[in-house]
């Protein structure tokens, strides 16, 4: 008797999915790290709380969940951002695990939504662990409370990356109607079991690392670009990879002293002509000409130099260097043709090659730092501030292009808000995003967004005004006061 074709196919997929040489998997420092448990602060019920719980899962992650009296059988998963990694380099002490309540905790409860959040079982930029910890918590909630009819996911910064990776895992796939759709959903369910994925119905990443490992290319471009620009006029500046152990004591002071007129160690200010080129390079690598970049650059300058001197392993999360700029064409303006200054920069900047096999894609298994394909199957609203230079606005442009290449732009809405800080959103902005996502998921009403791939639109002085409201950390003169003048 012939086996059903679907059984044969599933067996084949299972064999492919199993690691052939698990015993030879290369270990990295992150594998051996055991993070201490920190103080997450109080977790007390509100007048809307039917019950809540704080616990520890099977992998050591702390979790919290809360269910309101008027629970609508929907769940919001909240994914926090980067906590840090090594608290004290001299001793190797690690940053402790803590779990957050979501910023919209009370709003979720008032609308009848339960929520849950995990500390993850590891800190550092370990997105894989963040996804797995979050998915484990969905299963814990389903077992202890009941399986929700609908599960949404939202996160900030690295949590946005976790959100993006979680919704690309099986069983999140679009299936046709009818018998073929039934078979498709059966496949998706089984593959979801194999991969550890969870079914999500909508997502809202905020200030997310939606360009995945391109974030680390951005950091590297800033430091190696600064070195190249400084070396044009100061022959004492030398670039090398990996950087020397005394980089912060030797090379970096030379770079800062060449690019800035007031080169205080903590906060360099005032740009030399070569420093102005660094500003323009950063403008282009972070998303192009747009509102608030000029105000943001002095704020973020010193912070970005903090990523210089890295070895490309992302604090030992990866087995080798992830940074690669061999094919990058560096621009100092929006014109793709290279002018003399751009040609010199491209000719002199140190070119670095990514190590072979680092962060390689795996079928049904997450990379340690997952690369987002743009193959989304649920509604996504992704929001970013225009002046963010930690996780730059270019992350949204990369993501929008990835989604467009997969012909899934009908499922993505990208929004810009006007602020200088990282994840600097007002309560009104967060609520509007959540409400619009719920309306889209529940009733199919796709909300408005911004065109982030049109350079002229992004450069408009009023770009970001449509979705900017309420008070944030950025002065109102750069937010509502300017927007009140919009035509």
Return the CATH number at 414: 3.40.50.1820
Contact 177, 164 (CB under 8 A): no
Residue 11 has a pLDDT of 43
Q: Is residue 356 part of a domain?
A: no
Strand 86-88 with 93-94, pairing: antiparallel
**Last residue in a domain, options 348, 383, 399:** 348
Do 256 and 148 share a domain, yes or no? no
Q: pLDDT tens, position by position, for the chain (487 residues)?
A: 333 444 444 444 444 444 444 444 678 999 999 999 999 999 999 999 999 999 999 999 999 999 999 999 999 999 999 999 999 988 989 999 999 999 999 999 999 999 999 999 999 999 999 999 999 999 999 999 999 999 999 999 999 999 999 999 877 777 777 777 667 777 677 776 776 789 999 999 999 999 999 999 999 999 999 999 999 999 999 999 999 999 999 999 999 999 999 876 567 889 999 999 999 999 999 999 999 999 999 999 999 999 998 999 999 999 999 999 999 999 999 999 999 999 999 999 999 999 999 999 887 789 999 999 999 999 999 999 999 999 999 999 999 999 999 999 999 999 999 999 999 999 999 999 999 999 999 999 999 999 999 999 999 999 999 999 998 888 888 888 889 888 8
Do 63 and 191 share a domain, yes or no? yes
Do 241 and 132 share a domain, yes or no? no
Structural domain that includes position 161: 32-212+364-483
Do 322 and 444 share a domain, yes or no? no
Do 275 and 318 share a domain, yes or no? yes
**pTM for the model:** 0.93
Do 465 and 386 share a domain, yes or no? yes
Do 154 and 303 share a domain, yes or no? no
Do 166 and 265 share a domain, yes or no? no
Q: Is residue 439 part of a domain?
A: yes
Q: Is residue 358 part of a domain?
A: no
What domain count does the chain have?
Answer: 2
């Amino acid at each position: 008797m012939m086996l059903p074709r679907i059984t044969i196919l599933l067996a084949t997929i299972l064999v492919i999915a199993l690691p052939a040489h698990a015993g030879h998997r290369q270990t990295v420092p992150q594998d051996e790290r055991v993070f201490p448990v920190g103080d997450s602060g109080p977790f007390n019920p509100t007048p809307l709380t039917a019950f809540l719980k704080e616990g520890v899962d099977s992998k050591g992650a702390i979790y919290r969940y809360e269910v309101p009296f008027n629970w609508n059988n929907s769940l919001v998963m909240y994914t926090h951002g980067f906590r840090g990694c090594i608290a004290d380099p001299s001793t190797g002490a690690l940053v402790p695990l803590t779990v957050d309540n979501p910023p919209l905790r009370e709003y979720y409860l008032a609308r009848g939504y339960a929520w849950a959040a995990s500390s993850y079982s590891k800190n550092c930029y370990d997105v894989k662990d963040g996804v797995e910890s979050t998915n484990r918590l969905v299963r814990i909630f389903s077992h202890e409370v009941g399986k929700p009819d609908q599960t949404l996911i939202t996160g900030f910064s690295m949590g946005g990356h976790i959100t993006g990776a979680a919704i690309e895992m099986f069983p999140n796939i679009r299936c046709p109607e009818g018998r073929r759709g039934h078979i498709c959903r059966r496949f998706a369910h089984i593959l979801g079991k194999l991969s550890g994925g969870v079914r999500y119905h909508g997502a809202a990443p905020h200030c997310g690392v939606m360009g995945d490992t391109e974030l680390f290319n951005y950091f590297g471009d800033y430091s190696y670009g600064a070195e190249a620009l400084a070396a044009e006029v100061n022959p004492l500046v030398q670039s090398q990879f990996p950087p020397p152990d005394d980089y912060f004591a030797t090379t970096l002071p030379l770079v800062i002293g060449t690019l800035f007129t007031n080169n205080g160690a903590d906060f360099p200010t005032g740009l030399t002509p070569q420093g102005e080129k660094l500003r323009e390079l950063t403008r282009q690598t972070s998303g192009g000409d747009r509102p608030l970049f000029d105000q943001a650059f002095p704020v973020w300058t010193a912070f970005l130099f903090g990523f210089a001197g890295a070895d490309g392993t992302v604090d030992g999360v990866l087995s080798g260097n992830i940074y690669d700029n061999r094919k990058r064409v560096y621009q100092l303006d929006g014109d793709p043709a290279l002018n003399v200054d751009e040609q010199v920069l491209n000719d002199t900047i140190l070119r670095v090659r990514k190590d072979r096999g680092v962060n390689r894609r795996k079928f049904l298994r997450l990379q340690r730092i997952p690369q987002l394909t743009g193959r989304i199957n649920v509604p996504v609203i992704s929001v970013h501030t225009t002046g963010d230079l930690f996780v730059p606005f270019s992350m949204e442009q990369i993501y929008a292009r990835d989604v467009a290449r997969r012909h899934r732009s009908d499922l993505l809405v990208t929004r810009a808000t006007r602020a200088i800080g990282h994840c600097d959103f007002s309560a009104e902005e967060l609520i509007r995003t959540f409400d619009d996502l719920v309306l889209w998921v529940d009733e199919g009403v796709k909300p408005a967004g911004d065109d982030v791939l049109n350079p002229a639109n992004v450069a408009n002085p009023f770009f970001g005004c449509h979705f900017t409201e309420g008070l944030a950390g950025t002065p109102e003169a750069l937010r509502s006061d300017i927007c009140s003048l919009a035509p």
